[in-house]
Amino acid sequence: MVMVLDDTIAAIATPLGEGGLAVIRVSGTEALTIADKCFKPAGAHPTTLSECRTHTIHYGKIHNNNEDIDEVLVSVMRAPRTFTREDTVEISCHGGILIAKSVLDATLAAGARLAEPGEFTKRAFLKGRIDLTQAEAVIDLIQARTDLAIQAANEQLAGKLSAKIDRLREEMLYALAHIEAQIDFPDEDISPDTREELLARLRHCVEFIDQLLRTAREGRILRRGIQAAIIGRPNAGKSSLLNQLLGHDRAIVHEIPGTTRDTIEETANVRGFPIIFIDTAGIRAAIDSVELEGVQRSHSSISRAELIIHVLDASQKLSFEELKLLKNHSSKTRILVLNKTDLNKNPELPPEINARIIPTCCLTSEGIEELKDEIHRSILGGKVHTGMHEVTINSRHQNALDRTRRATLQALELLDTDQPLELVALELRIATNAIGEIIGKTATDDLLDVIFSNFCIGK
């Protein structure tokens, strides 16, 4: 994306479709002038928008080619007290695809350019209002599917992650400055105390990096969710369990075995995490080609799932297929659900099966809350992290921190073994550049294009 910061951009900032209101956003040096060309103020003493005070709202009509389009309210916001730190106009019109597009067309006819995806947020970054992690938090906030995901995005938008990355970068720059000073003045050897201080500082940096890297899994789950396959024999209660976890009837439940012939995917909020539940066809020796296809899809779901919820029928003995499943997928994170406990029977599990068993009864909802707790514990590796949402890195941050860690460890080894300081400085520059990528201080144009292309137009 080639961006020109001295032009003025416009886009529809609300989702396309019918609704009460739609908002068209205009930002740039000519935002007020462009708005004046297509806005007719109403009232006894009309004034142009260019003459209005900042952060005021004005009533009137939008027109194009002298034809009125809609009654609107226009918000005037002058730089630098705006999201982009540019003059900004937001036009609130009646909701509807045609009306919103007509208002947008009026601003484009008046001299604005249609914004690229994410261009408003990219301008906020380039103008220094937010850094790159805060820009990413904007899209995280838009796409959040749980309250915990919203909290995490807000913490990042508030600069919690940025502050930690800045502190880490300052520590690395401090060490680099000392090394480069020694290179510039080679007549003075590094004193033992100074060397130990630098080594301790770099070791502390590695520990700090490790703390951040441990939040990668939680961050990925909050942003994308985790796939959990619900498996078991036909009529074990898999669909009933899905309905209980979702809180509404999504899958057909019937006493005839084999009702589910295809996989059903639905997302639910489980203790703040979005879990993508996959209800699979019952696994048994198929009786026809349709059921065979369903069983094959079940196995495919199992292979890609990050969590297995194996439903066992408390009223039945374990089948050969169930025993095979229990043994073949023992390496995966899994929970065994003993359903139909109201029948007061328990299948005997092989002694080598080591997994947590949650008794449930989908008819009465017994055990469902305990199952949700166990799902929460399982996706966090058995550890409930309190307050972890304050800092949760994404895959881009993880990649940069991995490179930072490798370079820092290499610098540590070189410094500890009295290798040439030029080599130590080289590794520290690699480390600091990688850290800078996270907050955008050393980001390339290609990297920025990739990040902001994920945004919707109008944001």
Does residue 292 register a pLDDT over 90? no
Omega into 80 within 30° of 0, i.e. cis?
yes
Question: Topology of domain 224-379, per CATH?
Answer: Rossmann fold (3.40.50)
In CATH, the number for domain 9-130 is 3.30.1360.120
For residue 189, what pLDDT is reported? 63
Q: Give me the mean pLDDT over the 320-334 stretch.
A: 77
For residue 390, what pLDDT is reported? 62
* Assigned token pair, 65: 């080619």
Band of pLDDT at residue 261, cut at 50, 70 and 90: very low
Among the ranges given (4-8, 26-30, 345-349), the one the predictor scored with the smallest mean pLDDT: 345-349
Give pLDDT tens digits for 55-70. 999 999 999 988 999 9
Quick one: which H or E segment has residue 171? helix 160-184
- Enumerate residues 6+ apart whose C-beta is below 8 A from 144: 150, 152, 153, 222
Does residue 190 register a pLDDT over 80? no
Burial (CB count within 10 angstroms: exposed 0-12, middle 13-18, buried 19+), residue 287: exposed
Does residue 84 register a pLDDT over 90? yes
Band of pLDDT at residue 341, cut at 50, 70 and 90: confident
Q: Give me the mean pLDDT over the 172-198 stretch.
A: 81
The residue written with tokens 């008794």 in the block is 359
For residue 221, what pLDDT is reported? 85
The pTM of the full predicted model, rounded to 2 decimals, is: 0.78
Give pLDDT tens digits for 225-238. 888 888 888 778 88
Beta bridge partners of 56: 76
The residue written with tokens 């990096």 in the block is 209
For residue 384, what pLDDT is reported? 44
Does residue 1 register a pLDDT over 50? no
* Separation CA 251–CA 259 (nearest Å): 9
Largest Cα–Cα separation, the chain:
87
Among the ranges given (81-85, 265-269, 298-302, 444-448), the one the predictor scored with the smallest mean pLDDT: 298-302
Q: Where are the domains of the chain?
A: 9-130, 135-215+392-440, 224-379
**Tell me: domain 135-215+392-440, CATH 1.20.120.430, correct?**
yes
Give pLDDT tens digits for 92-124. 999 989 999 999 999 999 999 999 999 999 999
Q: Kindly compute the dihedral angle of the four CA atoms of residues 43, 46, 49, 51, in this order, to the nearest 10 degrees.
A: -140
Does residue 352 register a pLDDT over 50? yes
Contact of 121 with 426, CB cutoff 8 Å: no
Backbone angles phi, psi at 406, to 5 degrees: -60, -45
Band of pLDDT at residue 410, cut at 50, 70 and 90: very high
